[in-house]
Amino acid sequence: MPLICAKPGLTSGASWISSAPPEDQAAFLNDLDEGELRALPFLFEFWSMPHQLPPQGDWRSWVIMGGRGAGKTRAGAEWVRSMVEGAKPLDAGRCRRVALVGETIEQVREVMIFGDSGILACSPGDRRPDWEATRKRLVWPNGAIATVHSAHDPEGLRGPQFDAAWVDEIAKWKKSQETWDMLQFALRLGEHPQVCVTTTPRNVGVLKELLKSPSTVTTHAPTEANAANLATSFLDEVRARYRGTRLGRQELDGVLLADAEGALWTSEMLEGCRIRDLPDSDRIVVAVDPATTSGKRSDECGIVVAGAQTRGAPQDWKAFVLADCTVQGASPSEWARAAISAMELYGADRLVAEVNQGGQMVQEVIRQIDPLVPYKGVHASRGKVARAEPVAALYEQGRVRHVSDLHTLEDQMTRMTARGYEGGGSPDRVDALVWALHELMIEPAAKWRQPGVRSL
């Protein structure tokens, strides 16, 4: 009985054998000789899922776009193997010079090379490449070489030349366009250089332009496509937490999401405002948009921490969104504790809370937890969009930076439009963000411009 290999659009050999009657399974395995049994774990076409195999056709870029844990890394590693390996261990493959490009050198090494689904884990012993750490490269027994490159250093791709490349998580690179451009100039060896791109989708320019190219082909899969290789508790938890959210559609379903029409904040704007290091701030506040109900189905209580440098004139001020500490299903005392804990953690100067619906109760709850907390209640006299627009203008001016992992907050931000919020539920995180930046930037700037006032 010959080995059954997967073809695009068809069930894999592994799926076939796992669902076959016991007698067919036994017959299949008994019919294999010792060499075939040893080779079976490394025959990726047998074990692969359709989205992990390259499509047919004369393409230059193959984008594997999928959710977290969908098997993208394994597909990229196996594609590199298929490019460099020949029929026998010392036979030449189709490609001899490969670029491995990730966000950092460390991520290339730890994920693409040494990871559980990386190149070394996928390679049989007689074809496994050697890692030359000092030269940051893999060398195969047949002489093929793969060199490591970082998206933090696009210029590192100026000079080398390749006939293939594997690019990982391009959608989160900070210098994505520059690095991608330099790689294209370096892919100039062989008859038909190709690149495999494995990424979770994000609404960034370099990925959108790549997908538009007529020389690009795409395969796609959600996280559940690889459920057999993932912990059940992981799938249950992330689906319960992120089902129905834009973040869930992006990170689990692997769907590239466009911004809402007329969004006050765009994904491109938010991608451009990230910084890595925590800045010094003259003031730090914690802003709270309290939930009026508690329980699993209640709205979130938005809790956002932000700081600002307010030296000189208002046009020189900078704000930094430091953390999103939002809680859901919390009782009033629980969200109050969460807000005060955030103040202690970040050394905040003041707690700002909207009191439109909770009124005096909001202050009383907070005072019960900490009677001495510096507190300010704020009352919304205008609608959410009117309050958010001047804050969005600060982003357009490049005066706000995001420090932490704020994807859920940013998801809400990209759904806030001039017509209102186009997401489900209430944008509690955005409300808290808006109150924080009003307190740090907009209100002090208005006072600064009053006659006779030049410091705060």
**249 contacts: CB under 8 Å, gap ≥ 6:** 255, 257
Residue 338's pLDDT is what? 95
Res 83 pLDDT > 90: yes
- DSSP summary character for residue 116: T
Q: What b/e string do you get for 250-278 counting C-beta neighbours within 10 Å, with b at 16 or more?
A: bbbbbbbbebbeebbbbbebbbebeeeee
Distance CA 380, CA 43 (A): 63
pLDDT for position 15: 52
Give the residue from 381, 266, 352, 275 showing the smallest Cα distance to 320: 275
pLDDT, position 381 = 78
Whether 9 has a pLDDT exceeding 60, the answer reads no
Portion of the chain with pLDDT greater than 90, in percent:
54
Q: Which pLDDT value is given to residue 251?
A: 79
**How many Cα neighbours within 13 Å face the side chain of 95?**
25
What pLDDT sits at residue 146? 98
Report the alpha-carbon angle 249-264-393, nearest 5: 140
Q: What is the pLDDT of residues 161-178, one digit of tens each?
A: 999 999 999 988 889 999
Residue 6: per-residue pLDDT: 37
**Alpha-carbon dihedral sign for residues 228, 231, 236, 237:** negative
Give me the helices (H) in 108-265, please.
Answer: 119-122, 176-186, 205-212, 232-242, 246-251
What band does 69 get if pLDDT is binned at 50, 70 and 90?
A: confident
pLDDT-above-70 percentage for the chain: 88
Higher pLDDT, 439 or 239: 439
Instruction: Please state, in angstroms and as integers, the Cα–Cα distance from residue 445 to each residue in 417, 430, 438, 440, following that order.
Output: 25, 21, 9, 9
Mean pLDDT score, 325-346: 93
pLDDT of 20 above 80 = no
d(CA 353, CA 362): 8
- Share the mean pLDDT of the chain: 86
Residue 157 has pLDDT above 50, yes or no: yes
Query: Quick one: CA dihedral 22, 29, 73, 108, positive or negative?
Result: positive
CA-CA distances (angstroms) from residue 206 to 164, 175, 199, 201? Answer: 19, 10, 12, 11
pLDDT digits (tens, 9 = 90+) for 203-260: 788 998 999 999 999 998 888 888 877 888 888 887 777 765 666 777 788 877 777 7
Bridge-based pairing state of the strands 130-132 and 300-309: unpaired
Helices (H), 113-221: 119-122, 176-186, 205-212
Q: What letter does residue 260 receive in the DSSP assignment?
A: P
- Asked if residue 423 has pLDDT above 80, the reply is no
How far apart CA 26 and CA 33 sit, in angstroms, is 13
Q: Spell out the residues 6+ positions from residue 256 whose beta carbon is closer than 8 angstroms to its own.
A: 65, 201, 202, 203, 207, 208, 211, 250
Of 4-13, 33-42, 154-163, 198-207, least confident by mean pLDDT is: 4-13
List, for residues 93-150, the tens digit of each pLDDT value.
999 999 999 999 999 999 999 999 999 999 998 999 999 999 999 999 999 999 999 9
Q: Which of 342, 343, 321, 206 is nearest to 275 (CA)?
A: 321
Helix (H, G, I), strand (E, B) or coil at 145: strand
